[in-house]
Every structure is written in structure tokens, then in C-alpha cells.
């Protein structure tokens, strides 16, 4: 069973991954935040956008190969390769922060990798408003995120909504982080697990 957790910056992906991994005694694959370009990117997005996205994509390809060879029965993944392309790279291109030439090159690489990536059995989408995202970003206190513009987060939210509603073809469970506090409300986690158990019964 392959479960992917998707959502904007600060939506709680890593926290939910940790909760579910512990609950199921499962293998987790976290987003690799140790990226050599991320600090430079937040200081000068147009200069480093392509470098950052290609670096993230390379990390995701490596992670995917690890997933495929792990033999684990249950896998939870913090962020997907689809988000790298359809949310972040596309947004940077449309903002004029990634040139059309660079974006075309990036998408060629992405298209080659999608055949290596199994579609998740379930995608858990963490939907969150800008105030919720900003609050959680400030709470975790990462220096390179301190200057994130709210308008940037809003554009990402719009892209997530479009991706979930109009592009992504797999099965989706939407969790509204504004009201569903899976950190402090065990009933929210129980509800998520009920969905996972139904999914497992189908196999």
C-alpha cells in the first residue's frame, strides 16, 4: 500500500507522515530538505529556480527508486514527484522566475521519470488557508522560510486546487487543516486510518 501526502509549504505533511508511520509501523519517505540551493532560492528566486527544481527532482527520482526496491508492504511518502512539476516548477515558470527554455528542459526530464513512479494507492491532500500555513511556517522556524511571501503561498494554493480537481487522476482524501487538527484530535487520525483500511481491503 503506497500512500502519498501532498500539500502546500507548512500544511503539515511531515507531521502527518510521522503520525501514520508510527501508527502502522510502516516505512516513511520524507521530503529531502537538505538541498544545496534552497537558501539561495528564497533570497533570489529567479537566479536559482531551475537549479532548485532539478535538484529536488533528482532527489525524488532517487527516493522513488529506493521505494521500488524496498519491498515494504506499506509506504508513506511526504510530497510527490507530481507536485514538483505541476505545482512548483509550473508556478515558477508562470511567475517568470524560470525561463521557458529551462521549464521545457525540466519537463522533459520529469516526463521521462513518470514511468518509474507508481501512482499512489491514495493521495492525502492537506488543504490549508494562508493564515494556517503562515502560522505553521513561523512555528517551525526554518531560517530559509522566514521571507516567504504570502502571495507566493496563495499562488501555490491555487495550483494545488487546480491539480487536485482537474489534473490528478488517482484516488484522493482531502483533509482541511483549518478544521481537522490531526495533531491534537485523535478522531481525525482515526478517520484517516478508516479510509486506509478500506483501501487495503480492496486489494
Q: Which helix (H) or strand (E) holds 154?
A: helix 150-162
Q: Exactly one of 34, 66, 78, 121 is catalytic; name it.
A: 78
Q: Contact, 192 vs 172, CB < 8 A?
A: no
Write out the three cell numbers for 96. Answer: 517568470
Alpha helices in 37-149 (DSSP H): 38-43, 45-70, 81-83, 90-94, 100-113, 130-140
CA distance 181 to 185: 6
CA distance 117 to 74: 16
Our answer to whether residue 102 is catalytic in this structure is no
Q: Which residues contact 21 (CB under 8 A, 6 or more apart)?
A: 27, 28, 76
Residues with a catalytic annotation lie at 78
Amino acid at each position: 500500500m503506497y500512500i502519498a501526502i501532498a500539500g502546500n509549504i507548512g500544511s503539515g505533511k511531515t507531521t502527518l507522515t510521522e503520525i501514520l508511520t508510527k501508527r502502522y509501523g510502516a516505512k516513511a519517505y520524507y521530503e529531502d530538505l537538505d538541498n544545496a540551493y534552497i537558501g539561495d532560492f528564497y533570497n533570489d528566486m529567479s537566479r536559482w529556480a531551475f537549479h532548485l527544481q532539478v535538484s529536488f527532482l533528482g532527489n525524488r527520482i532517487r527516493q522513488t527508486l529506493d521505494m521500488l526496491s524496498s519491498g515494504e508492504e506499506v509506504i508513506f511518502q511526504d510530497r510527490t514527484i507530481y507536485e514538483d512539476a505541476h505545482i512548483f516548477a509550473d508556478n515558477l515558470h508562470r511567475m517568470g522566475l524560470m525561463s521557458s527554455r529551462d521549464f521545457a528542459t525540466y519537463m522533459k526530464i520529469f516526463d521521462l521519470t513518470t514511468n518509474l513512479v507508481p501512482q499512489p494507492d491514495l493521495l492525502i491532500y492537506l488543504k490549508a488557508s494562508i493564515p494556517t500555513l503562515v502560522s505553521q511556517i513561523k512555528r517551525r522556524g526554518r531560517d530559509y522560510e522566514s521571507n516567504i511571501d504570502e502571495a507566493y503561498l496563495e499562488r501555490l494554493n491555487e495550483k494545488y486546487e487546480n491539480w487536485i480537481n482537474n489534473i490528478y487522476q488517482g484516488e484522493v482524501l482531502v483533509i482541511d487543516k483549518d478544521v481537522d487538527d490531526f495533531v491534537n484530535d485523535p478522531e481525525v487520525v482515526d478517520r484517516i486510518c478508516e479510509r486506509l483500511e478500506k483501501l487495503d481491503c480492496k486489494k
